[in-house]
A and B are shown apart, each in its own frame.
Chain A
Amino acid sequence: MSESTQVSDRTTAREQAPARPAATRWRWAAAAALLAAAVYAPFQLVPFHVFQLTMVLIYAVALLGLNLLVGHAGQISLGHGAFFAVGAYTAAILLDRWDAPYPLTLPAAALVAFVLGLAFGVPAMRLRGLYLALVTLAIAIFLVPLLKRFEEVTGGSMGLSLAKPAPPAWSGLAEDQWLYFLALAVTVAAFLLAASLLRSRVGRALHAVRDDEAAAEVMGVRPAYYKTLAFAWSAMFAGIAGCLYTWVIGFVSPDSFVVNLSITLLAGLVVGGLGSLSGPVLGALFVMFVPSISQDINEAAPGVIFGLLIIAVMYVAPTGLAGLAGRAANSIKKTLRKG
């Protein structure tokens, strides 16, 4: 029996072999087309829709970080909203108290989130599954009262209002367009960083730890090191997203970062697709548009519809929207080859 399966494996693999460079080329073409559309879009849309797209980019960066942890390192976090908030508040406090220039707040937010992620990554290397979920949930829970408590710095329940980055005169852009392009540049950079990371020795080590920790250790991979740093990098991307949020909204308050945000992020990622690069983008679209669309359907129960839609998507596409898209692409390819 094993022989016959082996033979069939060989034939399918041989069929796939010449298709591979073409698939890579397609992927590049798709990415380029997507980028072109992303650059073109703000000139065609009304400001509110540009703002919505900007929010999609921000969520995509946060989900990219969460994906690094959940999809690639096989850990879980129910507290990523907290790292998002930390990035947002770091930027806001720097702008509010020290009038820091905008570009400076981005690395600062990234660094603060990274260091906090590293600190919380230490329990992450000892805990797994439900226990880790609980510890990370605790981070999200205690953050809001903490932000309210240190009123002098954080503005308490009232939050902090800030001026948004103004478009430079040479660009000729409106404010919403300028913010969109700032977010787009950061998003593209974040995706390039994450893609390079995952294709490297580090990405392989993360996958190895996720798939079989004991075997990975025999190969010389230190699971504790990779889990902790995956947590820190993941938090850093969430912090970067938080910083973008502050730039774009111009206002932070504790109530923007309640526990719900963390849960929505995790739900969005799982719906979008774990462990793929397109998953965070699809998840971000889901997180941004599904609540507002469901509000259109029935104003009383956007939460219910959001929840039902999550269940429906997971039922139809257990590997997320990215997996569904991959399957669709494969079946189209097959039909084309036949025809």
Chain B
Amino acid sequence: MLEVHDLTVRFGGITALDGVGFSVAAGEMVGLIGPNGAGKTTLFNCLTRRCDADGGTVRHEGKDLLAVPPHAIAALGIARTFQNLGLFPRISVRDNVMVGAHHRGRAGFLTAALRLPGVRGEERGLRAEADAVLQRLSLSHVADHPAAGLPFGTLKRVELARALIGRPRLLLLDEPVNGLNSAEVEEFAGTLSALRDEHDLTVVVVEHHMGFVMGTCERIVCLDFGRKIAEGPPEQVQRDPGVIEAYLGTAV
């Protein structure tokens, strides 16, 4: 489904990603871990074309992702959430979610201004779909609330709803449980695995919460200073000396 090969990204003199390669099979859930500054978010930004690669290839369902403009990523079935939220604060939660389906809509300036029947039908369908997704993630009660001013955990779910309505096949989650308490983390893990089955999702998740990652992911990729230092099933990566060293430092 997703094949990253020898991916290198440099910012000035800093090499954020250094020849990283891994692949994700359809239906899999892969965790991407590593200490702060390891290049996890940079990798996500590369996958969604927010930053350019200096070398290597990224293929999604056989298509070269690095040759695609940023706004065309969504139409290829890729959706993401952001580490520090990428919501639109001044519009309602429902509208935020509906923007997530932008690439599926067709209404243009003229047809929308004239409210042609096709536009009205599309709008009705989309609205119903947004309400269903909001209901699924128990967000119906905030649907008309502006995104600004809601609790962080709620906003994280809004972002997930916005990603889901785009009907992605590949979902990239950047620290989805950051800032949630342990009960909320557990609940989110349950919701996520249910959603995976409902929508046939392939998921790549960046997360620091080890309990969440080890409990939900089938495979873990660990980065440190832009290099992949370990890859494998959770129990194996957990015991990997390189990973332990990256997180805790060496025992002298």
> In the complex the two chains form, is B152's CB within 8 Å of A2's CB?
yes
> In the complex the two chains form, is B100's CB within 8 Å of A219's CB?
yes
> In the complex the two chains form, is B109's CB within 8 Å of A212's CB?
no
- B12 close to chain A: CB less than 8 A: no
Give chain B nearest CB distance to A228 CB in angstroms: 11
> In the complex the two chains form, is B153's CB within 8 Å of A221's CB?
no
Tell me the complex Cα distance, A17–B48, Å.
37
**Chain A count of residues within 8 A CB distance of the other chain:** 40
> In the complex the two chains form, is B109's CB within 8 Å of A207's CB?
no
Contact with A along B63-78 (1 / 0, CB 8 A): 0000000111111000
Task: Return 27 A-B CB contacts under 8 Å, by A number.
Answer: A2-B151, A196-B112, A197-B113, A200-B112, A200-B113, A200-B123, A202-B108, A202-B112, A202-B113, A204-B95, A207-B91, A208-B91, A210-B88, A211-B88, A211-B89, A211-B91, A212-B86, A212-B88, A212-B89, A215-B87, A217-B50, A217-B71, A219-B99, A220-B72, A220-B103, A221-B99, A229-B109
Query: Which of B20-28, B54-62, B139-147, B244-252 lies at the interface with chain A?
Result: B139-147
Give chain B nearest CB distance to A204 CB in angstroms: 5
Per DSSP, chain A at the interface is: helix
A contact residues around B102 at 8 Å (CB): 201, 204-205, 208, 219-221
A-B pairs, top 4 by smallest CB distance, nearest first, are A220-B103, A215-B86, A220-B74, A200-B112
Contact with A along B153-166 (1 / 0, CB 8 A): 11000000010001
Tell me the complex Cα distance, A256–B235, Å.
77
Contact with B along A39-76 (1 / 0, CB 8 A): 00000000000000000000000000000000000000
Interface residues of A in 186-219 (CB under 8 A from B): 193-194, 196-197, 199-205, 207-208, 210-212, 214-219
Give chain B nearest CB distance to A35 CB in angstroms: 19
> In the complex the two chains form, is A214's CB within 8 Å of B50's CB?
yes
A contact residues around B70 at 8 Å (CB): 217-218
**Chain A positions near chain B (C-beta within 8 angstroms):** 2-3, 5-6, 9-10, 13-14, 16-17, 20, 193-194, 196-197, 199-205, 207-208, 210-212, 214-223, 229, 233, 275
Pick the residue among A196, A207, A214, A221 that contacts B95 (CB under 8 A): A207
Give chain A nearest CB distance to B31 CB in angstroms: 21
Give chain B nearest CB distance to A213 CB in angstroms: 10
Nearest B residue to A196 via CB reads B115
Give chain B nearest CB distance to A27 CB in angstroms: 14
Tell me the complex Cα distance, A194–B102, Å.
19
A contact residues around B136 at 8 Å (CB): none
Tell me the complex Cα distance, A5–B123, Å.
32
Pick the residue among A197, A201, A218 that contacts B123 (CB under 8 A): A201
- B14 close to chain A: CB less than 8 A: no
- Size band of the interface chain B makes with A: 35 or more
A214 with B86, Cβ < 8 A, contacts A13-B141, A196-B114, A200-B112 known:
yes
> In the complex the two chains form, is A197's CB within 8 Å of B71's CB?
no
Give chain A nearest CB distance to B17 CB in angstroms: 19
Give chain B nearest CB distance to A221 CB in angstroms: 5
- B190 close to chain A: CB less than 8 A: no
Nearest B residue to A205 via CB reads B102
Contact with A along B23-47 (1 / 0, CB 8 A): 0000000000000000000000000
B contact residues around A204 at 8 Å (CB): 91, 95, 98-99, 102
Tell me the complex Cα distance, A62–B98, Å.
29
Pick the residue among B74, B91, B113, B152 that contacts A219 (CB under 8 A): B74
> In the complex the two chains form, is B88's CB within 8 Å of A216's CB?
yes
Tell me the complex Cα distance, A9–B154, Å.
10
A contact residues around B75 at 8 Å (CB): 220
A contact residues around B91 at 8 Å (CB): 204, 207-208, 211
Pick the residue among B99, B115, B151, B179 that contacts A9 (CB under 8 A): B151
B contact residues around A201 at 8 Å (CB): 98, 102, 105, 107, 112, 119, 122-123, 126
Nearest B residue to A1 via CB reads B151
- B195 close to chain A: CB less than 8 A: no
A contact residues around B89 at 8 Å (CB): 211-212
- Please name 13 further chain A to chain B contacts, defined as beta carbons within 8 Å, in addition to the given A204-B95, A218-B79, sorted by A numbering: A2-B151, A6-B153, A13-B145, A204-B91, A204-B99, A204-B102, A208-B91, A211-B88, A212-B87, A214-B50, A217-B70, A218-B86, A220-B75
Q: Which of A3, A16, A204, A223 has the most CB of B within 10 A?
A: A204
Nearest B residue to A225 via CB reads B71
- B212 close to chain A: CB less than 8 A: no
B contact residues around A200 at 8 Å (CB): 107, 112-113, 115, 119, 123
Pick the residue among A10, A212, A221 that contacts B71 (CB under 8 A): A221
> In the complex the two chains form, is B90's CB within 8 Å of A207's CB?
yes
> In the complex the two chains form, is A211's CB within 8 Å of B90's CB?
yes
B contact residues around A2 at 8 Å (CB): 151-153, 179, 181
Tell me the complex Cα distance, A222–B72, Å.
9
A194 with B113, Cβ < 8 A, contacts A5-B151, A9-B150, A201-B122 known:
yes
- B188 close to chain A: CB less than 8 A: no
Pick the residue among B88, B112, B152 that contacts A197 (CB under 8 A): B112
Give chain B nearest CB distance to A171 CB in angstroms: 28
> In the complex the two chains form, is A17's CB within 8 Å of B141's CB?
yes
